[in-house]
Amino acid sequence: MTAVLLDGIVLGLQFGLLGVGLTVVYGLAGVLNLAYGPIAVAAAVAVSLSMQSGLSAGPAVLLGILTAAVISLLLNFTILQPVYRQEGETRVLLSLLLTIGVAFIIDGILVWRYPIEGLSLNIGGDPVSILGVPMRTGSLLASAIVILTGGALIAFFRATTTGKAVRSVIQDEVGARLCGVNPARVRALIFALSGALAGLVVVTEAMASPVTISAGFRLTILALLVTVVGGLGSIRGAFLAGLILGIVNSVSSFYIGAYITTIILLGAAALTILVRPSGLFGKHA
C-alpha cells in the first residue's frame, strides 16, 4: 500500500506541474492551449535527437526544454494574436479551435519525420529505500526536479515583482494595465514558461517510462483535467489536483485495472466540476 501511495505521489507531482503549465496560460491569456501535449512531445523528440547526435543528457534536456519554450512563444506571437482581440468565451473558443489546428500540425510533422522516435531516459543507480519501499533512482530524481521546480514557481509568483505582475494580470487585466503592467510582455513570459514546463514534465516522465510521439493527446487531456479540477488559473490548485489524481490513478490501477482507472479518473474530474464548478482553488466564475 505504501509503495502504491508513493508511486501515486511521484506521478501526482508530475501531473501537477503539467497542469500548472496549462493553467497559467488559461488564467492569464484566456487561452485553452490544446497544442500543449504535442509541444511537450516535440520537446521529447528534440532531447532524443540531440542525444543521438552525441550530446550528453544534461545539455540535451536543456535544448529540449528550450525547444518547447520557443514553440510556445511562436504560438503566442503568431496565430494567437487575433485571439487576443476577442473577449470572454469567444476568445476561449477561438483559441481552442486554432490550437487544435496547431496540435494537428505538430503531430503531423512528428508522425511524418520521426514516426518511431521516442524518449526514454535511463537513470542508473541502485534503488533507494524510502519508508521501507525500494524506489527507483529515476523516480526519485524526477520527483526532486518536480518539487524544486514547483517550489521555485511558487516563490517566483509570490516574491518577485515579475511574478506579482503576472498574478495581477490573471486577476484583472485592465487594472494591471492601469498600474503600468504590460500584458503583452507578461503573456510572452508566461507562454515561454508554459512551454518550458511541458518540456520538463515530459523529461521527468521519460525517466520512469518511455514517451512515444503519440503521447500528445493524452498529455493535453491530463493537463486539462488537472487544470479543471484544481480551478482554472490556480497554481496551488493544479498541484493539489495533480496529487489527488495521481494517487487515485495508481491506487485504482493497482487494485482494479487500467481501463476502469481511466474511467474513475475521468469520473473524479467530472464530479469535481459538478460539486465545485470553480475547482478546488478557482476564482468564482
89: CB partners within 8 A, 6+ apart: none
By DSSP bridging, strand 133-135 and strand 128-130 are antiparallel
* Residues 191, 21: Cα–Cα separation, whole Å: 8
* Residues 36, 200: Cα–Cα separation, whole Å: 13
Among 32, 44, 121, 197, binds other proteins (CB under 8 A): 32
Q: Is 108 in the site for other proteins (CB under 8 A)?
A: yes
Decide: 226 and 37 in contact? Cβ < 8 Å. Answer: no
Q: Is 92 in the site for other proteins (CB under 8 A)?
A: yes
Q: Is 259 in the site for other proteins (CB under 8 A)?
A: yes
Under DSSP, the state recorded for 120 is -
Nearer to other proteins, 105 or 184 (CB): 105
- At 265, list the grid cell: 479518473
Among 100, 133, 135, 188, binds other proteins (CB under 8 A): 100
- At 255, list the grid cell: 487494485
Q: Which of residues 191-230 bind other proteins (CB under 8 A)?
A: 217, 221, 224-225, 228
* Residues 250, 14: Cα–Cα separation, whole Å: 13
Q: Which of residues 52-91 bind other proteins (CB under 8 A)?
A: 79, 82, 86, 88-90
Q: Is 109 in the site for other proteins (CB under 8 A)?
A: yes
Sole window of 160-168, 194-202, 245-253, 271-279 interacting with other proteins (rule: CB under 8 A): 271-279
Length of the chain: 285
Nearer to other proteins, 21 or 150 (CB): 21
Decide: 138 and 120 in contact? Cβ < 8 Å. Answer: no
Nearer to other proteins, 34 or 189 (CB): 34
Binding site for other proteins (CB under 8 A): 32, 79, 82, 86, 88-90, 92-94, 97-98, 100-109, 111-112, 217, 221, 224-225, 228, 257, 259-260, 262-263, 266-267, 269-270, 273-274, 277, 285
